[in-house]
Amino acid sequence: MDLKNKFIQFLSTVFPANSTEWALFAVFLSVYGTLGTVIAVDYRIIFDDRIPWDAYFSFDNRAIVLTGGGYERHPLANYFFEWLREFALMFSGGQKNEIFRLVLAWCSNFAVSLSLIQIFKYLKNIIGLPNRFSLLTVFFFSAFSTNILLSFTPETYTYTLFLLVLFNYYAALKIRQDEVIPASALTLAAVGIGGLTVTNVVKVYIPLLFQRKIFSNWKNLGKAALRVVISIAVFLLLFMYRMDFKFMQFLDKSGAQFEKFSQQKVTPYWDMMASWFLGGNILFAGFELRDYHNKKGFEYKALFMDVFDNWVSHAVIGAIIILLIWSWLKNLKNKLANILMLSLLVDVVIHGILRFGLHTSYIYGGHFVFVFPLMVGWLFHAYRSSFKMITSLFIVLMLIFSYVLLNNIFRMTEFFRFLELYYR
């Protein structure tokens, strides 16, 4: 394949490729864009130089935009956010004003909207679902609290969501066509995905476990190992360069971060798992106000998510988890479904077992929440020959989608009341 055809194929993989996809992209850009524009222009919360962290839901917008975050967790994010920051400043005339915030919000909107298009492509081109099932599933996903928040939030999670969904779609295309994932693609994925959040780098290598004859042929295994070594070497070299090759300092700081973010909180463990890790990335719960200051005399109000306080939200999240597990059981021999579930299990280990960041795990959805709609898609596929079953699943998903949408719209009105009171 010549360079021109490869470039065209790349564009068609990353961006909308037909009228349906372009229409969806326009819808998502418009809806999320309206939300982000209002928040960016009328309120200060997206970026305020006086507020270093935690203005809403523990997002560290200012720290991320200015520095890329701590190198021990976001080793190469500083380079990306330096470009993003300079891009926004170019439009705002060098000022961190409402235009600066607007550009940041629209960049996030663009990334989240493209992520949803990748979900639709996967549902259509990999799973092979008809339009009505693909559209319902992608609209269901678009109403998740994670996507609503990330659509205007300049954070690592926003761009990690896009890169992870894109890579999973790309890997699925390769595996379905019995092609290997080249070293160049693995390296770019490791640097991009692992560079934004280091723990996600392991997800880049999960698809290699399911390539054809990878373990039955020593030659294939050796080639795969070489590609992994090359990609890890490049990633580590860039990582070490960022740290000025002070590896022991990285270990010390990582240990301190683990201790800080994995301490047991007063909220019961299962409440944190149900309401924040599993639930908070899909449904907004109630909100909690706290008083914060920036250690330089400026005080501000911070908003956090409370645990679920009604049985309906628990029931809806429970139903989604049942659909997820049901889909996995129906697709145990499906390589692509197993890739998705192993990717999710990485986050279950990090947040659920090691408890890292579990008390604020409702902000980590960009790392794993895309697995939910794709596994629902695989469940539809498993029952494609049963009209009765697939119709029942469609109705169930429609009911769940309706509750998620209405709940999150209602909670966003509360969010705007918070903005109106404290962030004009």
pLDDT of residue 10 exceeding 90: no
pLDDT of residue 248 exceeding 70: no
Distance of alpha carbon 145 from alpha carbon 415, whole angstroms:
12
Task: List Cβ neighbours of 181 (8 Å cut-off, separation of 6 or more).
Answer: 170, 171, 174, 207, 208, 211, 227
Confidence of residue 54 (pLDDT cuts 50, 70, 90): confident
pLDDT confidence of residue 424: 87
Nearest to 118 by CA among 171, 154, 180: 171
Residue 61 tokens, joined:
């917008």
Specify if 9 maps to a domain: no
Residue 209 tokens, joined:
């476990």
pLDDT of residue 211 exceeding 90: no
Question: CA 395 → CA 32, 136, 328, distances in Å?
Answer: 26, 10, 20
Mean pLDDT, the chain, integer: 92
Per-residue pLDDT of 254-301, as tens digits, reads 555 555 555 656 788 888 999 999 999 999 999 999 998 888 888 999
pLDDT of residue 7 exceeding 90: no
Specify if 2 maps to a domain: no
C-beta separation of 273 from 281 below 8 A: no
Per-residue pLDDT of 73-129, as tens digits, reads 888 999 999 999 999 999 999 999 999 999 999 999 999 999 999 999 999 999 999
Task: List Cβ neighbours of 387 (8 Å cut-off, separation of 6 or more).
Answer: none
pLDDT confidence of residue 9: 86
Distance of alpha carbon 285 from alpha carbon 76, whole angstroms:
33
Distance of alpha carbon 124 from alpha carbon 380, whole angstroms:
12
Which of 222-236, 374-388, 397-411 is the least confident region? 222-236
262 DSSP 8-state letter: S
Specify if 240 maps to a domain: yes
- For the CA atoms of 346, 154, 189, 262, the dihedral, rounded to the nearest 10 degrees, stands at -30
Specify if 61 maps to a domain: yes
Give the mean model confidence (pLDDT) for residues 374-382.
Answer: 98
Give the mean model confidence (pLDDT) for residues 204-230.
Answer: 90
Task: List Cβ neighbours of 55 (8 Å cut-off, separation of 6 or more).
Answer: 45, 48, 61, 292, 300, 302, 303, 423
Where residue 295 falls (left for φ over 0; alpha for ψ -120 to 50; beta otherwise) is left
Question: In 3-state terms, the chain is what percent helix, strand and coil (to 5)?
Answer: 70, 5, 25
Q: What is the end-to-end Cα distance of the chain in Å, rounded?
A: 54
Specify if 7 maps to a domain: no
Which of 19-28, 49-58, 227-236 is the least confident region? 49-58
Q: Which domain holds residue 409?
A: 15-422
Distance of alpha carbon 170 from alpha carbon 175, whole angstroms:
9
Residue 289's beta-bridge partner residues?
A: 303
CA 60-103-32 angle, 5° bins: 85
CA 84-240-79 angle, 5° bins: 5
pLDDT confidence of residue 1: 54
Nearest to 152 by CA among 203, 112, 190, 196: 112
pLDDT confidence of residue 135: 98
Q: What's the structural domain count of the chain? A: 1
pLDDT of residue 360 exceeding 90: no
Residue 266 tokens, joined:
């007063």
pLDDT confidence of residue 215: 81
Nearest to 364 by CA among 375, 376, 378, 350: 350
Confidence of residue 359 (pLDDT cuts 50, 70, 90): confident
Specify if 30 maps to a domain: yes
Percent of the chain residues topping a pLDDT of 70:
95
C-beta separation of 132 from 45 below 8 A: no
pLDDT confidence of residue 212: 83
Strands 299-305 and 287-293: antiparallel
Specify if 1 maps to a domain: no
Specify if 8 maps to a domain: no
Give the mean model confidence (pLDDT) for residues 56-64.
Answer: 92
pLDDT confidence of residue 86: 97
Confidence of residue 404 (pLDDT cuts 50, 70, 90): very high
pLDDT of residue 371 exceeding 80: yes
pLDDT confidence of residue 332: 95
Give the mean model confidence (pLDDT) for residues 133-140.
Answer: 98
